[in-house]
Chain A
Amino acid sequence: MKKTKDTIYYRDKRAHNRFHYRFQWHAYLLILPAFIFVTIFVVAPLIISFVRSFFEYETGIYNKGMNYVMVLTDPEFLITFRNVFFIALILVVLMLTTSFLYANCLNSLDNKLSRFARTMIFVPFFISGIISSLMFSTIFDVSEGLIGYLYYTRGVYFDADIPGGLTHVTLAGEYVVGGGNFWPYFLIILPTWWGGFGYQALMMFAGIINIPKEYYEAASIDGASATRKMFSITLPNMKNYFVLVLVNLVTGYFQMFEIPKMMTGGGPEKYSKLFGMELMRTESPVLWLYSSVLGQAGGPDRNIAVAGAFLIMVFVTIANILVFKVFKSEKSMDS
C-alpha cells in the first residue's frame, strides 16, 4: 500500500526531500532502542553462532564445515527428524481439518452459542506447553487419572516398559490396543492439538467471515448446494489462510520442545513401531539440540548443536520469508 501523503506541490526534489526527511533524526532516535536490543540479543548471537559452527568445540580449531557433516550424519539427529515428521504430519492433518470444520460450524451458527464457543476455545492459548503437559499427565496418570479409570473398569493399562504402551489385559492374555506403538505419539499429539486448536479455529473463522457474503447469495440464487458452495466458494477463498496456517504449523511443530520434554522426555527408550516403520523415540530435533546446553547426557557437542540449529534455521526462515513475501505482494495487488 503506497501512502498518498504529499498532496502539497514541491518546486524541486530538494524541497520535497526537505519536507519528507525533516524528522529524520527523530526517527533514528525512536528506532535506536529497538535497534540496540535486536543487535545485542538477536543479530550478534546469530553472527557468533555462524562463526562458531565452523570451529571444533574442544580445541577451537577451524574444521572446514565438519560440524555440519557430523550433524547431518548423526543417526540420532536424522531420527529426530523422522520422529517429528510423523508427529507433524498427523498433527497438521488433524489441526487443519478440525479447525476448518469447526470454524465453518461457528460461522453458520452465528448465535450466542457460537460467540460463547469462540471465547472458550481460546482459553488454552494462555496455557503453556509445560502447564498443559502437567494437566494431561495427571489425566493420563496410571493410578489416579482417566487411564487408571480404564484400568479399574476395563482392564486397560498404560505400561511404559512394554513397547506397545497401552495394553489390554484379558483372561486370554495381553494384547495391544490403540494402534500398536502409537501411544507415546498420542501423548504428544493430544496436548499439542489441544493447545493450538482454539487459535487455529479462530484464524480460520476470520478467514471465512472475510469472504464477501455476495458470493454466497449469488450462488444461492443459482441454486447451488451447500457442498458446492463449500468447494467452489469457501475453499478457493480460504487458500491463503490454509497456506499461512500450514506453514505456521509445520515450522512450529518442527521446533516442538516443551511438550515432548514433559510428556515423554524424548522416550520411550526402546524402539517402537509405527505403520511398520521402526521409530526410535518421540524426540524432536530442537529437544536433542538443547540437551547439550541443558546439561543432559546423550546430546551433541555444543558447536555441532549450533550447526544443527543453523540447518533448522535455514528451513524455518526460508519458509517464513516466502510466506511473508507472498502475502505482502498479494495484499498490494488487492488494494
Chain B
Amino acid sequence: MKKENIELTKEQALLLKARAKKPFNAKRFIIRAIESFFVILGVAIILFPIFWIVVRSFAPNDYVPIQEWSFFPKNPTAENFIAVLTKPLKGGYNLVNSLFWTLIVSVASVVLGLIIMMTAAFAFARLEFRGKGVLWWYTIITMFVPGIAVNLTSVYLVDLIGLKDTVWVLILPGLAGGYGIFFFRQFFLGLPNSLEEAAMIDGCPIFQIFLKIFVPMSITPIVIIATRMFNGHWNSYLWPALTIRDNREKYAQVMQLLAAIKESEETAYVIAATMVSIIIPILLFALNQKRIVSGIAISGMK
C-alpha cells in the first residue's frame, strides 16, 4: 500500500486528501451548484446594463441590434466617442471641458471635506471639552435631516451670500457631512489610547499627534469617505440645477450630458456619452475595490 502511494503525482495526492476530508455528497454538490447558479445570475443581471452600453457605444449610428439579431455590432467604430468628446455643446463647452471641471470640483471637495471632517472627528473622539454632547448632535445633524428640507431654502441662502453661479457653490455646502464625521469618530474611538499617550507625555503638540499618528492609520476610512464624496459630487445633478443658472453645463458633467442628449436624437451618441461619464468612478472603484468592498459593508452598521 505504501509503495503505491508514493508513486502518485502531487495533484493526485492532493485530490485524494481533499476527497478524504469531505467525501462526495450528492446533496451538497447540488446545493452548491444551485448557489453558484444564483450568484452568477445575480452578477449577470447587475452587469447586463453595463455590458449593453459598452457594446452599443461602439456600434455605428445606423446600427439597429434587433434587426441584425445580435448584440454585437458587425463593424465596431469609435466615432461615437469622438463625436461626444469633441463636439462643442451648450455654452460653447464640450464634454471634455465639463469632465475636467467636474473632476476639479470633486477633488477639491474631497480634499477640503476630509480635512474638515477628520479634524472635527478627532476632537470629538479624543479630546474633552465643555459642551461636547450638544456640539456633537449639532455637527452630525446632516445625517438625519433629508436634503429636501434644507435645499428649498439654501438655494436662496447661497444667493444671499453671493455664491450663486460660482464654482464655490458646488464645493462648499457638502464639506461638513455628518456621516463622514460620525464615521471617522467611530474609527478613531476604536484605536488604542496608548497611541497618543506616549506622544503626549513627550510633549508633542496635539495637531502633530493628529497628523503623524492618526492620519496615516486611517487610510481605509479615508478611502471609503473619499469615494463616497467623490461619487456624490461627480454625479451631482440636483444641486447644480438649483444653484447655477448660466454655465451649469461647464461645472457639472451630468448637466452637460443631459444637454448633449437633448441636442442629439441618436441613441448611439447617448450611450457613448453615458459610457464616458461612468468611466472615472468605475476606474476609481477598480483601483480600491478591496478596501471599498470590505469597508462599505462595515460602514453601514456604524
Chain A residues proximal to chain B, CB less than 8 Å: 1, 3-5, 20-21, 23-24, 26-28, 30-31, 33-35, 37-38, 40-46, 48-49, 52, 98, 101-102, 105-106, 108-109, 113-114, 116-128, 130-132, 134-136, 138-139, 141, 143-144, 148-149, 151-153, 194, 197-199, 201-203, 205-207, 241, 244, 251, 255, 257-258, 286, 289-290, 292-294, 302, 305-306, 309-310, 312-313, 316-317, 320-321, 324, 327
Contacts and interface: CB of A to CB of B under 8 A. Distances in A.
B56 to A, nearest CB: 7
Nearest to B44: A120
B138 interface: yes
Interface string B137-169: 011011111111111111111000100000000
A327 B143 CA distance: 15
A45 B150 contact: yes
B235 A138 contact: no
A113 B293 CA distance: 15
A49 B150 contact: yes
A124 B284 CA distance: 13
A31 B258 CA distance: 39
Contact of A320 (B122, B144, B152, B278): B144
A257 B49 CA distance: 21
Interface stretch (B5-13, B35-43, B74-82): B35-43
B157 A135 contact: no
A251 B146 contact: yes
A42 B39 contact: no
A305 B120 CA distance: 34
26 contacts: A30-B119, A30-B122, A31-B119, A34-B116, A41-B173, A45-B150, A101-B38, A102-B39, A105-B39, A109-B36, A117-B40, A123-B46, A123-B282, A123-B285, A131-B274, A152-B66, A197-B46, A206-B297, A206-B300, A207-B301, A258-B238, A312-B148, A313-B146, A316-B144, A324-B143, A324-B144
A139 to B, nearest CB: 6
Contacts of B151: 45, 290, 293
A37 B172 contact: yes
A38 B176 contact: yes
Interface in B111-133: 115-117, 119-120, 122-124, 127-130
B277 interface: yes
* Interface size range on B against A: 35 or more
Given A38-B178, A197-B46, A290-B152, 12 more contacts: A23-B129, A26-B123, A105-B35, A109-B35, A130-B254, A131-B274, A202-B293, A203-B297, A206-B300, A293-B152, A309-B146, A316-B144
Contacts of A244: 300-301
Given A102-B42, A244-B300, A126 B278 contact: yes
Contacts of A327: 301
Contacts of B145: 42, 46, 313, 316-317
Contacts of A153: 66
A113 B241 CA distance: 42
Task: Give the top 9 A-B pairs by smallest Cβ distance, nearest first.
Answer: A128-B235, A206-B297, A37-B176, A34-B120, A313-B149, A126-B281, A30-B123, A27-B127, A45-B154
Main secondary structure of the interface of B (DSSP, over half): helix
B105 interface: no
B193 interface: yes
Given A35-B138, A206-B300, A290-B238, A149 B127 contact: no
Nearest to B53: A135
Contacts, number: 281
B87 interface: no
Contact of A143 (B31, B64, B120): B64
B146 A21 contact: no
Contacts of A206: 297-298, 300-301
Contact of B117 (A34, A109, A203): A34
B135 interface: yes
Interface in B92-124: 115-117, 119-120, 122-124
A43 B274 contact: no
B258 to A, nearest CB: 7
A121 B64 contact: no
B147 A255 contact: yes
A113 B117 contact: no
A216 to B, nearest CB: 15
Nearest to A34: B120
A20 B127 CA distance: 8
A333 to B, nearest CB: 15
Nearest to A141: B267
A310 B206 CA distance: 41
B16 to A, nearest CB: 21
A258 B239 CA distance: 12
Contact of A135 (B52, B123, B242): B52
Given A33-B116, A38-B142, A52-B153, A131 B254 contact: yes
